[in-house]
């Protein structure tokens, strides 16, 4: 799929290098604790001990429940943040706005997590195609977000939509990746609204 966002919708207020913007670690959570607790509850419902987890666009916390997973691989733009994350067995750095191909095997993960970061993707279709590629049959993708963001780095197509409009956009992203059967989870556990789109990849 060539794209979901138009060239105008991809625009950011700050079009400078993302690597430079994220070079300094930010040990903050980008959502309130009720949101994060709700996210952990959702992960507990959708994952199981022994699963292989890919935590895309991760940081110093993954918000996963205390399950004994087989493998947790993280991705991000700041090495200090990823190194601080004790749930990750391994991690790698990559800017999805300049390189969308993942250095991961096809079908290698049971669960794809993307928390509080999807608003920064300028080329979501090829990124989610890669997410779909690395998910195993019947794998689950969980994309969560709230109304907080770095506004200068969020794409215009995100900034100008309502929360429900953003959820519909993420559903299009997930579908673009071949991850179907999307379900929208909406809650208000605290000050920050909780939104998540859950998709499941086709079975064998």
User: Tens of pLDDT along 143-168?
Assistant: 999 999 999 999 999 999 999 999 99
Q: pTM of the prediction? A: 0.94
- Judged against a pLDDT cut of 50, whether residue 197 lies above it is answered with yes
Q: Which domains does the chain have, with CATH numbers?
A: 18-200 (3.40.50.150)
pLDDT digit string, tens, across residues 30-60: 899 999 999 999 999 999 999 999 999 999 9
- Tell me the C-alpha distance between 68 and 133, whole Å: 24
Outline where 74-162 has alpha helix (H). Answer: 79-84, 124-134, 156-159
Quickly state the pLDDT bin for 1 (edges 50, 70, 90): very low
DSSP class of 169: H
């Amino acid at each position: 799929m060539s794209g979901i966002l138009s060239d105008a919708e991809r625009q950011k207020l700050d079009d400078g290098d993302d690597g430079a913007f994220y070079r300094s670690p930010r040990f903050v959570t980008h959502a309130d604790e009720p949101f994060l607790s709700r996210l952990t509850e959702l992960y507990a419902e959708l994952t199981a001990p022994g699963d292989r987890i890919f935590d895309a666009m991760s940081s110093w916390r993954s918000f996963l429940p205390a399950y004994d997973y087989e493998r947790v691989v993280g991705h991000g733009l700041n090495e200090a943040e990823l190194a601080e994350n004790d749930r990750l067995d391994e991690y790698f750095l990559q800017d999805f706005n300049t390189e969308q191909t993942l250095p991961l095997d096809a079908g290698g993960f049971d669960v794809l997590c993307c928390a509080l970061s999807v608003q920064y993707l300028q080329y979501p279709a090829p990124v989610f195609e890669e997410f779909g590629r690395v998910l195993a049959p019947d794998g689950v993708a969980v994309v969560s977000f709230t109304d907080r963001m770095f506004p200068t780095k969020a794409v215009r197509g995100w900034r100008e939509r309502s929360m429900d409009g953003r959820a519909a956009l993420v559903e299009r992203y997930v579908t673009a990746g071949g991850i179907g059967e999307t379900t929208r989870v909406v809650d208000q556990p605290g000050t920050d609204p909780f939104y998540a789109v859950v998709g499941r990849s086709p079975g064998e």
